[in-house]
Structure 1
Amino acid sequence: MPISAHLTQFLASVHPYDSLTDAELIALANRCEVQSNVTGDRIFGIGDTADSLYIIADGAIEITDDTDVQLSLLGPRNSFGERALLRDETATRTATVTENCTLIVMPAATLFDLIKTHPPVAKFFDRRRPQREDRNDLATMAVDQLMTRNPISCSPDTPIRTVAGQMHERRISSICITDADAFEGIVTLRDMNSRVVVQGADPLAPVSSIMTPSPLSLSPKALVTDVLHLMVERGIGHIPIVEGQTLLGIVTQTDLTRAQAMSSADLVGRVAKAQDATEMARATSEIPQLLVQLVDAGNRHEVVTRLITDIADTATRRLLALAEAALGAPPVPYLWLACGSQGRQEQTGVSDQDNCLILSDDVTEADMPYFAQLAKFVSDGLDVCGYFYCPGDMMATNPRWCQPLKVWRGYFEGWIAKPDPEAQMLASVMFDLRPIGGDDSLFVNLQTQTLKRASKNSIFTAHMISNSLKHQPPIGLLRGLATIRSGEHRNQLDLKHNGVVPVVDLGRIYTLQGQLKSVNTRARLEAAIAARVLSGTGGADLLAAYDLIATTRLDHQSQQIKAGVKPTNYLDPSNLSDFERSHLRDAFVVVKTMQSAAGSGKGVLG
C-alpha cells in the first residue's frame, strides 16, 4: 500500500479528521508530510516560530514548559503544536522525542482551511468556553429524569388491608404489583375507594382482585409530553415506567407538579419555613434532582453550585434560628462561618460540612456550654439534611473551632509565622471562610488583616505555594490521562482532588498574592486577572480549563443521578468520547502549566 494510502487510512482513525469524507481525507493526506525522528530530537522549542500541527503516528513525544517540567507525554493519535499556531505566537513549550517516532506534519494553512470549512474540526480546536444549549423544557425532558425510581411494590397475593396500610403509612397514592420482578398491575387510592369502600371488596382478599392489570405504561425513553398527553387523554394520574417486563419507576401528577415548581428558590423557601431538621431534610433530599434539572437546562457550573450552596446556607441559618429558639438568646454575639466547598459556594451533589464559630471576645467560660450546644444542634441538623459530618472534624462542634475572636487572630498569626504542614493545611481551609449567620463584623477586620500579613510573609507564601502543588492533574500516557491504579476506583479519574482542587489551590494562592477578598474560585481567578496578579492570557486559559473540568464533573454527577446511582467525583475516562478526552487532557495540561509557573518562582505574569 502506498504511503499516501496508509496516511489516509491513519487520519481516518483520528478525531476530528474521522468526520471527513474519503475524498477530503485523500486531499488532506496529500497536503501533509510524514517525518521520522529519533529519540532526543527536538521538534520545536520555546521561542520557535509555529508553522505546523504535528500528529503522532507512532512513538512518543514529551512536552515541557520553560522550567523543564513535563506537561505531557504523548503517544499515537495525539497532536501537538496547535497552541501557538492558533494564537499566532511563538512556541511557549518544548517538544522532544522520547521514543523513535513518525509524525504527520500538517501545514498551518491546511489546518486553518479545515477549521474554516469543517465544523467538527473547528469545534475540536475551539478552546473557548462552550455555550451550553438551553434545554430547560419540562415537556421535552426524558421520563427517566423525572420518574420516582424503585417505587413501592408488593406481590399479587398481598392482602388488600396490608396494601392499604402501606399506602397510608408511606403517604403514597399507589402501589405497583409485581410477581417475580415482572410488572403485573397497579392499585391506586381511587381503586381502594371504588372497589373496597363503595363496592365492598373483602379487605383480606388478595390485592390482585382489585388491581388494574397491565395498565398503560411508558418506557424510560418516553418524553414528559407523552406522560402529560396520556394523563389528559385517559384521565389517569399514575404512569408506570416499564422496560420489557421490569418496573423501573412511576410518574404521578404529584411528580409533574413538583418538577414544574422545583427551583432553588422553592427549596430555599421550604427550608426557611421548616420547623425542624426532619422537615428540612424532605426539601434537601430533592437537591440531586435539582442538580439534574439545572445541568440539563444548560446552566454554567458556577451558577449550579451557587444555587445548590444557597440551600445549604439557608438550612444553616434556619438551624441557627431554631437553636436560639430552643436554647434562648446567645449570651454574646457570634458568627457562624462555612469553609470548604460551602465557603467557596461550590457545592455539588456530594457535600460534607466544614464550619466554625467565631465568638465575641466578651465571651466567658460560663458562656461556652451554650455555644457547644448551639454547634451540636446545627451540625446534627445539617447531618440529618444530608450534609454529613466532616471526616477531619473541621466543624464548630470541635472546641478548637469554636473560639473567641482573639483566639482566631492567634491561630492565623501562628500559622503564618510558623508554616509547618498542619499550619499550611489549616490556613488553606480557613482562607475559604465565608460568614453564614450572626454578627459579620467579627470577621471583616480578621480577613483583611490576615490577608495583608500573610501576603507580606514570603516564607509563608512559598510554603502555601508548595502545599498547593500537592494535588496534580491526572496527565499520563494512556490518551494523556492518568487514572487511579488500584482500589475501589481503579482506572477512574478523581475529578475533585486531581481536577477541581488543583485550580482551587491556585485560586487561593492568587488571592493571597493580591490580597483579594473573593472566596469563590472562578471569582478569584477573574479578580486575579483584573488585579494583574495573573496574566490575561494565562488567566483566560486557566478559566477555560477550570470551566471544562468543573462542567465535566457536574455532567458526570447528573448522569449518575439519572441512573439512580449516588453521585461521586470518580469518572471512567472510557465513558468519554475521543473529543471529550482530548479537551479534558488539554484542560489538565493548562492547570499543570499554571502550577509550574507558580512553583517556579517566576510569578504568573512572567
Structure 2
Amino acid sequence: MALDVELADLRDFLAEHPPFAWLPKTVQEALPARASVVYRRRDSVVLPAGEVPTELLVVRSGAVEVRDAAGHLVERGAAGTCLGGTALRNGAPQPTTAMAIEDSLLLAVPADVFATLCADHPDLAAFFAAPLGGRLRSAVARQREDHEPPAGPVLRSRIGDLVRRPPVAVPLEATVRAAAQRMTEERISSVLVTDGDRLAGILTDRDLRGRVVAAGVDTGVSVAEVMTPDPITADPDALALEAMLELVRRNIHHLPLLRQGRVVGMVTATDLLRLEQANPVHLVGDVAKATDAAAVAEVAGRLAPLVESLVRQGSTAHDAGRVVTTVGDAVERRLIELAEAELGPPPVPYAWVTLGSRARFEQALGPDQDHALVLHDDATEAHDAWFAELADRVTLGLERAGYPRCRGQKMASNPRWRMTLAGWERQVMRWLSAPTPDAVLECSVFFDLRHLAGDASLSEALVEHQRTSVRGSPLFLAYLAGAAARTHPPVGFFRGLVVERSGDHRDSLDVKRGGLLIVSEVARVHALAAGSARTNTLDRLEDAESDGRLSSALAADLRDAWEFLGHLRLRHQADLVREGRVPDNWIATDALSSFEKQHLKAAFGVIRSAQSALAMRYPVRAIT
C-alpha cells in the first residue's frame, strides 16, 4: 500500500512538469514503476561532465546547479529540472557538470526506458534533442498553437511571396507612348523605369491620366518627363502587413521590391488587399484621416483591442511589436502634421525622432513617450518658440491618445531634448567622454533613435555621428555594458522566480524590466561596438553575431528568450484588455503553468549567461 502511494505521488509529480506533463496519462502512471529514486548529498556531483549518461535524472526535491567546462554557471534548478537528457538522446558526452547545492532526491529513468519514451512521443524527444534556446523556440510555438488559431495571411506573408511575375521595365530614354504600349501588352497598371541597373522611377495609370492626357503632353516625350522619380520601395522579405501600412500612409498603390539595389518584383494595393481586410490597415488609414487631435485620440483607442486580436490570430511578439509600433508612428506623425498645419511652415528644417522601444519597433501597450527634435544648424533662439509649441502640442496629443509623458522628461517638449544637429553632436561627445553611470542611464535611450518626421537628412547625419563616435569610445561601451549587466533577471539564487512581496504587484514579476529590456541592452552594446546602425533588438543580435561579438549559439538563445518573454507579455496584455483592465508588464506567477514557469526560468538563465559574457568582454567590475 505504501509503495502504491509513493508511485502515485511520483505520477502526480511527473504530470506537473514538462515534458512528462505532455505524456498520456497511461504512460505517466506506468513510468514511476520503471524508474528509481536516488539521493545526492549537498555539494556532491550529480552528473559529471565528459561521460555519456546512462539515465535521465529529474530533480524531485532539493536544488542543483549546472556549470560549463570553464566553471561558469549555466543554470540553477529545483523540482522538475532534467539532467543529462540531451546528451543521452544524442549519445554524446555530458558537456556540463551538475552539482547538488542542497540535499536532493532525483528520479532516475533508465536509458532504455528513456529511449522508448523518445521513440513513442515526438514532443518529449524534441524537448531533449534541442539545446536550451531551441526548447524556448518550441515553447513559443506550442503556446501559440495551444492558445489560438494561426495568424491570418496578412500577419504571416512576406511581400516577396506575392510576386507572381518578373518585373516589367522600360529604359529611361523610352517614350511615353512606348511605355503605355508595354503596359497594355502586359496588362499591368504600372511600369518601372530603369537607368541601367538602377531604378529611376515608375510610370502608373494615374501618371498617364494626370500628367499626360489631362495636361495635353505629347506621348512622344521621354518617359523621364512624366514618371514618378525615385519611388518608395520595399524589401521583399518585409511583412505584407508593413507594405499595406506603407501604402495607406503614403497614399500610393504600387510598391517596387528591391534586394541589394536590384528590382525583383512589384506588388500593388490590390495584391495586398486580396490577403484580407486587416484591422491594422484600417486603423492607420483612419489615423491619417483624423482632422484634429481629439479624433486621433479616438482612433488610437482602438489599438488595445487590436493587440488582443493579434494574440487571437497567433501573432509572434516580433510581428505584434511592429504592428503596434506602426500604429504609434501613425498617431505621432498625424499629430505633427496637424500641429504644423496650424502653426505654419517651420522656420528652419527639422527632424522629429522617436526613441526607445518605438525606435526599436518593439512597442507594446502602455508605453510612455520618448522623442526628441533635431534642428537645422541655422536655428536660432528666436526660432525656439515655434518648435517649443510644436513639441507641446504633439506631447499633449500623445498623452490624450494613451501615451503617458516620460517620467524622465525625455521628450521634445523639454528644451534639453530639442537641439540643433551640431548641438546634439556635441552632446553625444560629452556623453562619450564622461560616461558616468547617471549619464549613461540618461543617454542610453538616445542610442535607440529612429527618424519619424521632417528632414530625414538631419536624423541620418546624427545616427552616423553616433555610430562612428561610439565605436571609438571603449570606456563608454564599458559603462553601457555595466548598466546592462547590473540588472538581474527575477530568478532566485537557488530556485524559483523572484516576485514582488507587497504592493499592487505582489506575487508578480516585471517581464519587461527583468527580461526583455536586458536583452535589448545587451544587444545594443554589442551592436554599437560592431558599428551597426540598426535599432531593432533582433537585428542587433544578428549584427553582433556577424561581427563575432556573440557566438551563434548565444545569439540564437537570446533571440528565442526575447521571443518567449515577449509572447508571455503579449498574451498577458491581451488578457488584461479582454478583462477591461489597463495593460502592464507585471505577470503573476500563479497564473503561469508549470511549463511556462520552467521555460521562464530557462529564458532568464540565457539572459544571465549573456550578461556574464558581456562582463567578460568589458571591464564591467572595474567601473560599477
Match of 1:10 in 2: 10
Say whether 1:383 aligns with 2:399. Answer: yes
Say whether 1:269 aligns with 2:303. Answer: no
Match of 2:62 in 1: 59
Label 1:557 to 1:86 Cα distance change in 2 as closer, same or farther (>3 A).
farther
Counterpart of 2:310, as a letter, is L
CA distance in 1, matches of 2:330, 2:471: 33
CA distance in 1, matches of 2:447, 2:49: 36
Shift of 1:477: 6.8
Shift of 1:456: 2.7
CA distance in 1, matches of 2:35, 2:330: 60
Counterpart of 1:563, as a letter, is E
Q: 1:287 aligns with which of 303, 307, 313?
A: 303
Aligned-residue sequence identity (percent) comes to 34
Match of 2:422 in 1: 406
Moved more, 77-86 or 455-464: 77-86
- Runs of at least 5 residues in structure 1 that lack an aligned partner in the other structure: 139-259
Match of 1:558 in 2: 574
Label 1:437 to 1:462 Cα distance change in 2 as closer, same or farther (>3 A).
same
Deviation readout 1:440-470 (Å, 9 max, x if unpaired): 1112232223223222322222111110022
1:483 touches 1:491 (CA, 8 Å); kept in 2? yes
Q: Give the SS at the match of 1:335.
A: strand
1:65 touches 1:593 (CA, 8 Å); kept in 2? no
CA distance in 2, matches of 1:508, 1:394: 19
Match of 1:115 in 2: 118
CA distance in 1, matches of 2:618, 2:2: 50
TM-score w.r.t. the length of structure 2 is: 0.72
Counterpart of 1:121, as a letter, is L
1:471 touches 1:501 (CA, 8 Å); kept in 2? no
Match of 1:307 in 2: 323
Say whether 1:457 aligns with 2:473. Answer: yes
Say whether 1:491 aligns with 2:507. Answer: yes
Q: Give the SS at the match of 1:468.
A: helix
Say whether 1:42 aligns with 2:51. Answer: no
Q: Give the SS at the match of 2:372.
A: strand
CA distance in 2, matches of 1:466, 1:67: 22
Match of 2:456 in 1: 440
Q: How many residues align?
A: 482
Match of 1:135 in 2: 149
CA distance in 1, matches of 2:351, 2:112: 61
CA distance in 2, matches of 1:392, 1:598: 27
Shift of 1:28: 3.5
How do residues 243-262 of structure 1 correspond to structure 2 at under 5 angstroms? none
CA distance in 2, matches of 1:459, 1:84: 41
Label 1:292 to 1:19 Cα distance change in 2 as closer, same or farther (>3 A).
closer
Shift of 1:475: 1.2
CA distance in 2, matches of 1:513, 1:86: 39
Pairwise CA RMSD: 2.8
CA distance in 2, matches of 1:109, 1:439: 67
Deviation readout 1:107-162 (Å, 9 max, x if unpaired): 45543432331255346554434444473799xxxxxxxxxxxxxxxxxxxxxxxx
Say whether 1:524 aligns with 2:540. Answer: yes
How do residues 117-516 of structure 1 correspond to structure 2 at under 5 angstroms? 117-119=120-122, 121-122=124-125, 125=128, 126-129=135-138, 130-131=140-141, 132-133=144-145, 135=149, 263-476=279-492, 480-516=496-532
Label 1:106 to 1:391 Cα distance change in 2 as closer, same or farther (>3 A).
same
Moved more, 49-58 or 313-322: 49-58
Counterpart of 1:294, as a letter, is L
Label 1:362 to 1:87 Cα distance change in 2 as closer, same or farther (>3 A).
farther
Shift of 1:486: 2.5
CA distance in 2, matches of 1:380, 1:395: 11
Deviation readout 1:256-300 (Å, 9 max, x if unpaired): xxxx96611111111111111100111100101000111110111
1:428 touches 1:508 (CA, 8 Å); kept in 2? no
Shift of 1:379: 0.8
Shift of 1:511: 1.0
How do residues 97-116 of structure 1 correspond to structure 2 at under 5 angstroms? 97-107=100-110, 110-116=113-119
CA distance in 1, matches of 2:566, 2:508: 16
2:325 touches 2:361 (CA, 8 Å); kept in 1? yes
Shift of 1:432: 0.4
Shift of 1:401: 0.4
Label 1:510 to 1:558 Cα distance change in 2 as closer, same or farther (>3 A).
same
Match of 2:79 in 1: 76
Q: Give the SS at the match of 2:435.
A: coil
Counterpart of 2:407, as a letter, is P
CA distance in 1, matches of 2:44, 2:389: 68
Shift of 1:35: 2.5
Q: Give the SS at the match of 1:337.
A: strand
CA distance in 2, matches of 1:528, 1:539: 8
2:11 touches 2:29 (CA, 8 Å); kept in 1? no
TM-score w.r.t. the length of structure 1 is: 0.74
Q: Give the SS at the match of 2:102.
A: strand
1:11 touches 1:17 (CA, 8 Å); kept in 2? no
